[in-house]
Every structure is written in C-alpha cells, then in structure tokens.
Structure 1
Amino acid sequence: MLSALSFQQNIKQKIVFEKITRRSFRFNLLIAIGLLVVLGILFFSMLGIITRHNETLKVPDVRRKNVKEAIMLLEKAGFEADVRDSIYLDSIPPLSVWEQQPETGAEVKVGRTIYLTVNKVVPPMVAMPDLEGLTFRSAEMTLHSRRLNVGDTIYKPDFATNTVLQQLLNGKLIKAGKMIPEGSNITLVLSSGTGSIENPVPDLSGLTYLEAREILSASNLNLGTVLIDASVTDTANAFVTKQVPPRHNSIGDLNRVRAGETIDIWLAATRPVKDTATADSSK
C-alpha cells in the first residue's frame, strides 16, 4: 500500500519536472531580459539622486586661512578638501592656505574635492646662486627661480653699469653654493657706472695692502690686479711698491680717473723708498 503511494508521488514529481524543463529556452531568455530592463530602469532613475545631478555650489574663499579652518569650512559647505602641495612664503603665517583649486567663486558639483596649497612651517634650504656679473634683471629672475627675494639694492661706481658686483645676506658677503633658507632677502650691490668727474689718482706707494684698499674704497675706485712678490708672507701688511695708473704721468702731471675705474698694484715685503722731490710735487 505504501509502496504504491510512493510510486504515485514519484510519478507526479516527474510530471511537474518535465513541464518545467519543457519550457522553451526563448521563454526563459525573455524573462531574464525583462529582469535586466527593470533593474536598468531602477538604476538610471536613482543615478541622479546618487550623483546629485544638477546640484552645484559656489566654492568659498579659504585663502590665507589656517588649513584646519579651511578644511572645516569646505566640508561644512558640502565639499571635500585635500592638501595637494606646499610652498614657503614669509608673507603669510605657517600652515595658511596659499592657493585653492577650483578657485574662489567657481560653480562646481556638490561633493567636489577642493585641492589646497599650504604654506610650510619650516622653510626648505636652497643653494645660493652666483649672481656676480649678471644684470639686475637676470639676478632678480635667478633669485625668484630659487624662491629667494631681492632685498636692498646698493649702487657703487663701476664701469659695468647695472651689473651685480656683490651679493649679501644679513649685511655679509655670501658665496655661491651656500645653503640658505628659502624666502631669504638678498641684498645686491650694483654698478652705477663710472662717474663723469675726473679726480687725481691717489698715491698708494708705501701704503700697506689694507691701507691702499681703504683709500680706493673711499675714492670710489676699485682694486684691480694684485701682483705679490715672492718674499711676501703676510699680504695684509705687505707694501705697495707700484701702481697702474701711477700718481703722475711721464711729464710729471697728475693722472686722473673717474669713480668706478680700477687701479692695479704690486706688493712687496719691504716699504719702498719714496723720492722726496716727487712726493713734494704731488701735494
């Protein structure tokens, strides 16, 4: 009795299975396509909500604000914020926002990332360039390329007009290649050209090297070539034995020079003996 009942149930299950399996492949394919179409319609109808399509906001101005405050303001306004780069400027406080992208007032979508450039706390070190001999414009461009600034400009008579004669940092000469903080102010000593008024050549004979250099500086003249005798062991205290141009010309008249011109000197270990007659005539 039980086995007959089980047999009948098996027959019914087989009939149901055969009905299902007899459904055409085309019918099943149509059902699958219908499901995909419904899912696609749902996805694209929700896409505008997900991406906030057509929702835009104006980017607020966060420049010169502290980076923490800037990020808080941007997030409160509906944006994301990311620090993209850093720079060093002595004109704004450390950790202040120097630049933002997109810029202030731009119309962008809600949730857009605003990239920030922030001022560094500690200035990086850069190598001091060699500016001597460059024109002022070239020196200025070279400094800016290293993120250094032009400080004071001092003019000194010299034949090479408007060229850099010396480079100073904090009032002291600074050599090319020395590492200095980015943003430093470099003082440039520039040539103003030679003067228009001619003055008598100073008499340097018998003076020490240091004394001669002071006399030339006071007369707005430059020290040219220095030729040192082999007997000299202390250059600073060596004596000037010859100069070009000399105090007098070949007929005994005073030679004259303009401010900014150079004088070459010869140094020796012993003081030269001056001709009394020549010394009297030079007064």
Structure 2
Amino acid sequence: MFETITKRSFRFNLLVAIGLMIVLAILFFSLLGVITRHNDTLIVPDVRHKNVKEAILLLEKAGFEADVRDSIYMDSIPALAVWEQQPETGAEVKVGRTIYLTVNKVVPPMVAMPDLEGLTFRSAEMTLRSRRLNVGDTIYKPDFATNTVLEQRLNGKLVKAGKMIPEGSNITLVLSSGTGSVENPVPDLVGMTYLEARETLNASNLSVGTVLIDAGVSDTANAFITQQVPARRNPLGELNMVRAGESVDIWLGAVKPVKADSAAPPAAPVDSSH
C-alpha cells in the first residue's frame, strides 16, 4: 500500500488527505451534540431547607451531581439543612451538572458579646446584627437617658461585654423610658446596708448615683449608708420629692449611723399642775 501511495502524485495524495480531514470534521461536529448531550437540559429543583442527605438523593435522582461547598450558621433552619444552592432553583442546566450546596452548621460558632450599655436602641440593634446576634425582648425602665441601653441580658441573666456566647443568641435589652412625670418622696436610706438600699431604690424605680466609700469599709455590700443626696427631708423638715428614673448619691461607712430622730428618747411631758 505504501508503494501504491508513493507511486501517486503528491497533489493526489494531498487532495486525499484534505478529503479525509473534511470527512472527519463533519463526523466530529455531527456527533458533538450527542457526545456533549448539548440538547439535554434539566430544571434545577428546589432543595433549600431540606436535610443535606435528602437534598443530595433528590438531585442525583433528577440527573445532577451534588457537592457541599460551604457551611453557615442560621438559627432559623434546622442543623444540616441546605441554606443555599448554586445554580439556583429553576435554572435550566445540562444533565449531570454539579449543584453546589451551602449547609447549616450543627454547632453555632461562638462570638464575643459586645458592650451595648449606653448605646441607643438602633445602634445596639446594628451592633448585634454585625455579630450575628439577635434582639430578644425589650424591657423599659425609668432613667434619664431616654431609649438608651441600661442592661444587656442573656437567658434572663446579665451578660458582660467580651463573654463568648453562641452565634444567633437572643439578647434582652433593658432600655431607658426617661424620667416619670409623677413625683414621690425620697426613700430614707440612711442606716441601710448597700444591698438593702439598692433594693429599695429599685422598688421605687430609682437608681444608685455616685457612691463614696469611707476608708474603713472592707465589705461594700454590707457597708451602711451614712448619708444620701437628696436627703429624705430638706432643712425645713419637708419631704424631698423625686421622679422615677432619677438617682440618689450615697456615702458608705463601716459603722451603722444613729439617726437624729432616734439618738435620744423623747422628752417627758411637762406637768403644768405644779
């Protein structure tokens, strides 16, 4: 055969080679659609919020491949549920296309609790969202700074800034409602322990202001109130009045003070018959 080819002219052989290439090209392009399944397309089903195992089985039965690409934590869906899929639901793609899945984590990551005290409600809400935390209940309490955060709580307990908590936690905010419009007498704190005074002020919707501590005090909680501003009464003996949300400054001492009205027994009545 080689001798036959070599006996023919170069031009003839070239034409034969070109003809073969054309025939092969025609065959290739005519079969390309079959090889690549060009016209075989499917609609991507919706597997969001389904368990990842269920989602993979559903996709494989529908003629797709499935691959878990990433994970995220969302408290609104169950653990190991599909949060996102690419291509998205309803997309028309080729048979056998890989669908990439983003799955919800089993254990939420931990984040540091931000310091919200003193922030406005709007700022506190934005700060929580930036840490992937949620605003839970809001409780209003009388105080001067209207609509600012007084306390931050998790599961009913105060939570300090910097404490590591689960992402997605609901944070309860205690907010200031401003001072009240009704005036009430200042409670008499002198002689109480610091803990007793705080409870009394809380019951009256008042707060502890400045606390001055004597040098001899070693146990602040059980130290005694020796002085307060405003006092229970003014120099004329009239009751001082305060509004809910205001504060009372106190002085702490190690020794329980003796009140002026109990320092001496009442004077004996004078007998005018003599």
Q: CA deviation at 1:21?
A: 8.6
State the alpha-carbon separation in 1 of the partners of residues 16 and 151 from structure 2. 87
State the alpha-carbon separation in 2 of the partners of residues 189 and 29 from structure 1. 91
What is the letter of the counterpart of residue 41 of structure 1?
Answer: I
Equivalent of residue 271 in structure 1, options 247, 256, 260: 256
- The TM-score, its normalising length taken from structure 2, stands at 0.86
Q: Which residue of 1 aligns with 2:127?
A: 142
Q: CA deviation at 1:137?
A: 2.3
How many positions carry a matched residue from both structures? Answer: 262
Q: CA deviation at 1:217?
A: 0.5
Q: Which residue of 2 aligns with 1:242?
A: 227
Q: Which residue of 1 aligns with 2:34?
A: 49
Q: Which residue of 2 aligns with 1:126?
A: 111
1:180-221, Cα deviation, whole Å (9 max, x unpaired): 122222221111211111111111111111111011000001
State the alpha-carbon separation in 1 of the partners of residues 57 and 16 from structure 2. 51
* Cα separation, partners in 2 of 1:207 and 1:37, compared to 1, 3 Å: same
Q: CA deviation at 1:36?
A: 3.7
Q: Which residue of 2 aligns with 1:74?
A: 59
Q: Which residue of 2 aligns with 1:39?
A: 24
Q: CA deviation at 1:250?
A: 4.1
Q: CA deviation at 1:61?
A: 1.5
Q: Does 1:20 align with 2:6?
A: yes
What is the letter of the counterpart of residue 248 of structure 1?
Answer: R
Q: Which residue of 2 aligns with 1:108?
A: 93
Q: CA deviation at 1:90?
A: 3.3
- The TM-score, its normalising length taken from structure 1, stands at 0.83
Q: CA deviation at 1:31?
A: 4.8
* Cα separation, partners in 2 of 1:141 and 1:33, compared to 1, 3 Å: farther
1:18-54, Cα deviation, whole Å (9 max, x unpaired): x939954x66555554444333333322222233224
State the alpha-carbon separation in 2 of the partners of residues 59 and 265 from structure 1. 70
Q: CA deviation at 1:121?
A: 1.3
What is the letter of the counterpart of residue 275 of structure 1?
Answer: A
* Cα separation, partners in 2 of 1:20 and 1:220, compared to 1, 3 Å: same
Identity %: 81
Q: Does 1:255 align with 2:233?
A: no
Q: Secondary structure at the match of 1:234?
A: coil
Q: CA deviation at 1:71?
A: 0.7
What is the letter of the counterpart of residue 258 of structure 1?
Answer: R
Unaligned runs of 5+ in 2: 264-274
1:65-124, Cα deviation, whole Å (9 max, x unpaired): 111110111111112212122122333322111222232223333222222111111121
Unaligned runs of 5+ in 1: 1-12, 279-283
1:150-193, Cα deviation, whole Å (9 max, x unpaired): 22222111111222111111211111111112222222111121
**Greater per-residue helix proportion:** 1
Equivalent of residue 215 in structure 1, options 187, 190, 200: 200
Q: Which residue of 2 aligns with 1:65?
A: 50
